[in-house]
Amino acid sequence: MAWLSIGQNNNELCNKLQENNVITSSVIIKAFRLTDRGDFVQQKFRQEAYSDRPYKRDYVHISAPHMYVTVIEALELSEGLAFLNIGSGSGYLSCLIATLLGQSGVSHGIDINSSVIDHSRDCCDRWFKSFEGTINEGMVCKEGVQIVHGNCFDIDISSSVNRCLYDRIYIGAGCPAKHIPFFYQLLSENGIIVVPIDDSNELVKIRRVCGQVYTSTHITQVHFAPLVNIANLVVNDSITT
């Protein structure tokens, strides 16, 4: 019933997602209501954001809401966790998840496209401003939501391990199976990675059980654009922790 979830605004879209049982969790629907999908697209196409389908315009690509529901459920989120979004795009998912992590949580993102980064930072600023003067002001720590420009494979692992391991990681593009162990180095004990595997077109949930012991669970069949890996890309930004 996902394809019937269409509204004139974010609240109507959320109502339809509930009516069609796409979202059944009161916690998750609150996050969707607090994060207006229309704030994360080019504003002249804002109306296109309010349907349960992927949004693709120029360099801005956003997965369908039902896919993000699947991802959020698989990540098993709770307040205070540290989250890393690989291929963070518009910043929509990063902000959605930030509302679930609360004031003490961390929501970091990285994207290889500089135009997307500029767009996402504007979108995140718009999103934070929407809270000003409301009862929701201060529910998310602005300093905890950071999105940087760079190639995820150029992340300084030794520095990251010393400063911040992530409890949850989402990879928003098809990742070859051979590259997934790279991200294990950023994952905390009992941490979870949700990733579309490019080789098999499946979305999987990987849990770090203990040390180098991992379990993998099939979620659903998907088709994602492949993860971009540009060698020797200079990373100009850094995430502060």
Question: 3-state class of 223 per DSSP?
Answer: coil
Distance CA 83, CA 166 (A): 6
Tell me the residue ranges of DSSP E strands in the chain. Answer: 55-57, 60-62, 82-86, 106-111, 145-149, 166-171, 187-197, 202-210, 213-221
Select from 35, 57, 31, 61 the least CA-distant residue to 44: 57
| Residue 63 is a catalytic residue | yes
**pTM reported for the whole predicted model:** 0.91
- pLDDT tens digits, 196-217: 999 999 999 999 998 899 999 9
- Band (5; pLDDT cuts 50, 70, 90): very high
Tokens representing 107 are: 């929501």
Distance CA 164, CA 240 (A): 9
- Beta-bridged to residue 213, according to DSSP, are 210
123-161 pLDDT, tens digit each: 999 999 988 888 887 788 888 899 999 999 888 876 655
Rg (CA), the chain: 17
Determine which one of 5, 63, 90, 94 is catalytic.
63
